Structure 1
Amino acid sequence: MTKVLLCVGNSMMGDDGAGPLLAEKCRAAPCGDWLVIDGGSAPENDVVAIREQRPDLLLIVDATDMLLSPGEIRVIDPDDIADMLLMTTHNMPLNYLIDQLKDDVGQVVFLGIQPDLVGFCYPMTEAVKNAVDQVYRHLDDWVGDGGFAALTSEA
C-alpha cells in the first residue's frame, strides 16, 4: 500500500507550522512507510509528485481554524472543505488541491489541527506541538482516519 503524508503550513507563522513540524519529525525519525512531502504554504506545487505516486492513501495535515480549542485534532471530510469556509493561510484553497488529485488517489484524509497563534515570527504553542506529537505517534499503525474524531457541524 502506497501512503503519502502531505504536511502543509508555514513554519514562520507560529501554529501554522504544524504541518512542517510533522514533516521534520518524520524526516528525523521515520514512522511507518509514509512518503512524506513538506508542502509548505504552496502544497499545490506538489500535485505532480503526488500523482506520480498514485497513493492508496493521501493524508493531508494542516493547521486549520475550526473554532475549537487550540491543539484539538479533527478529520475533515474533503468534500466539505469548500462549504465550511475553513480558514487557512495558503495561496490556494485545499479543496482545489484535493479535487486535482481525486482521480489519482485512493483515499484522502484531511486532518486539521486547531491553531492558537498564527502570525509572522510567533512561536508555536505547546498545545499545537503536543497535537503534532499525537499525530506522529499514530502514523506507524495508521488505519482509516487514524483514530481521530470527525469534525461535526456542532463544533
Structure 2
Amino acid sequence: MPFRLPHTAVKMLFGVGNTMLGDDGIGPWVAERMKDCPDWHAEDCGTAPENFTGVVRKMQPHLLVIVDAADMSLTPGEFRRIPAEAVGQAGFDTHSLPLTHIIGYLRESMPEMPRIILIGIQPGPVEFHEGISAPVIHGGEEMAKMLCNGEEEQIPEYIPANTK
C-alpha cells in the first residue's frame, strides 16, 4: 500500500505562478482556496513546481491538477483544461522549468502515475505588481468550486486556434 500523509487526500493540486506579476499569481491563489476542500491536498508551488514532485511521489494521489495562468487568447478569467498535445501552444512562461518537463518526469519516475490535468486561466496583462484582477479572481473562484465539487471534467477543453 502506498504511503500517504496523515491527511488522506486522494487528489492533489499544484498552484503555479508568480504572485509579484499580478494575474500570473492565480495558481497560488487557487491553491490557497483549495486547502479547505475535502479529499484535496493543495500546494502553492510558486514558480518552481519541480520542487514539489517528491510530495506527489509520497502521497500517490490518483489525480494531480496543475493550475497556472496561460495565454490562450481568451477573455481574462476564462479557464480551460489543456490536453498534453496543446501545452506548447498555450503560453506558460514564468517558471524555471517547462510544465511538460515536470509532467514527463512524474510519468517516468512513478510506476503508478496519477492522472494529470493541466488547467490554464487566461490572465490580463502580466506585469510587475501585486494583486490579481477581478475577472481572473472570479474565474479562479469558479474553477476552484468546480474542482472541489468533483466537476473537473466539466471544465471546457482548450482548442488551439490553429486546430479549430
TM-score w.r.t. the length of structure 2 is: 0.84
Indicate if the aligned counterparts of 1:32 and 1:139 stay in contact, CA closer than 8 A: no
Shift of 1:125: 0.8
Aligned equivalent of 2:6: none
State the Cα RMSD in Å: 1.7
Aligned equivalent of 1:94: 99
Structure 1 gaps, min length 5: none
- SS of structure 1 residue aligned to 2:140: helix
Structure 1 ranges of 4+ moved more than 6 A: none
**Quick one: distance in 2 between partners of 1:87 and 1:9?**
9
Identity fraction in percent: 35
Indicate if the aligned counterparts of 2:17 and 2:46 stay in contact, CA closer than 8 A: yes
Q: Please state if 1:47 is matched with 2:68.
A: no
Indicate if the aligned counterparts of 1:79 and 1:95 stay in contact, CA closer than 8 A: no
Paired letter, 1:114: Q
Structure 2 gaps, min length 5: 1-8
* Larger-Rg structure: 2
Aligned equivalent of 2:122: 114
**Quick one: distance in 1 between partners of 2:99 and 2:107?**
12
Shift of 1:68: 1.1
TM-score w.r.t. the length of structure 1 is: 0.89
- SS of structure 2 residue aligned to 1:49: helix
**Quick one: distance in 2 between partners of 1:56 and 1:131?**
25
Q: Please state if 1:148 is matched with 2:139.
A: no
**Quick one: distance in 2 between partners of 1:48 and 1:132?**
26
1:1-150 mapped onto 2 (5 Å cutoff): 2-27=10-35, 30-82=36-88, 84=89, 86-103=91-108, 104=110, 105-143=113-151, 145-150=152-157
**Quick one: distance in 2 between partners of 1:45 and 1:18?**
19
**Quick one: distance in 2 between partners of 1:48 and 1:140?**
23
